[in-house]
Chain A
Amino acid sequence: MIASHYVYWTFFALMLIGLYVVISHGNLLKKLIGLSLFQVGVFLFYIGLGKQDGGSAPIISDDVETYSHPLPQVLILTAIVVGVATLAVGLALAVRIFEAYGTVEEDEVLERDSTERLAERDRERAAEHDGGGS
């Protein structure tokens, strides 16, 4: 079991490390780094599925007999591209969030939003009160 599955387990461990970073870290950029780690784990898992012992890259040549499977590689090429596209959008959003809030920590952003909302409500209350009084 260990000899035949250690590779998968390591890939799974990489996924979990990434997942942990995405969920528990509050820094938006760190979250994105974690997201890439998570995805890389999945990519490796797919490629692992296509590997064959003693196989070679699936580029046909006369003096090679066994090849690893090309399909997982094609899928992962697509997935890598999707991953980098998502990363780019996420980073652009992070830059804009920093410009709007002055921070890239999720907790601080939420805090700033809620203080803004509270301030607004207070203003409203005050306005209502004035209206009732006069």
Chain B
Amino acid sequence: MIFAVMAALLVTMVLTLLRAFLGPGLYNRILAINTFGTKTVLFVAVAGFLFGRPEFLDIGILYALVNFVATVAVLRLTHYRELVSEAEGGERG
């Protein structure tokens, strides 16, 4: 059963990855990558059970955390770029 879950996760990873490759645009990719991050959290959890050592779930917690930080960073920093480039795009040439 656990192996089936793993297979489903891997297939979903590939599907999400295709979306990340195809885009279009930044937001589709961010969405795909955010979803992909959740998949990796699940991957770590399931892999732990699959290979008989489930005590390393700390890694899953960390993945969830950094995934969130990265998403927030993308949104913050892309938005900010527009502000700056509007204000002084001309000067910098």
- Measured CB to CB, the residues of A under 8 A from B are 56-57, 61, 64, 102
Bound complex: CA of A105 vs CA of B48, how far in Å? 44
Cβ contacts B62-75/A at 8 Å (1 or 0 each): 00000000000000
Cβ contacts B24-54/A at 8 Å (1 or 0 each): 0000000000000000000000000001110
Q: Does B56 sit at the interface, judged by CB under 8 A?
A: yes
User: With a CB–CB cut-off of 8 A, which chain A residues contact B92?
Assistant: 102
Bound complex: CA of A56 vs CA of B51, how far in Å? 8
A102 touches B93 (CB 8 A): yes
- Interface of A, helix, strand, loop or mixed by DSSP: loop
- Interface of B, helix, strand, loop or mixed by DSSP: loop
User: With a CB–CB cut-off of 8 A, which chain A residues contact B52?
Assistant: 56
B93 touches A64 (CB 8 A): no
A57 touches B93 (CB 8 A): no
User: With a CB–CB cut-off of 8 A, which chain B residues contact A102?
Assistant: 92-93
Of all chain A residues, the one with the shortest Cβ separation from B92 is A102
Bound complex: CA of A102 vs CA of B92, how far in Å? 6
Bound complex: CA of A91 vs CA of B35, how far in Å? 28
User: With a CB–CB cut-off of 8 A, which chain A residues contact B51?
Assistant: 56
A64 CB to closest chain B CB, in angstroms?
7
Bound complex: CA of A61 vs CA of B53, how far in Å? 10
Of all chain B residues, the one with the shortest Cβ separation from A56 is B53
The 5 residue pairs across chains A and B that have the minimum distance between CB atoms: A102-B92, A102-B93, A56-B53, A57-B53, A57-B56
User: With a CB–CB cut-off of 8 A, which chain B residues contact A57?
Assistant: 53, 56
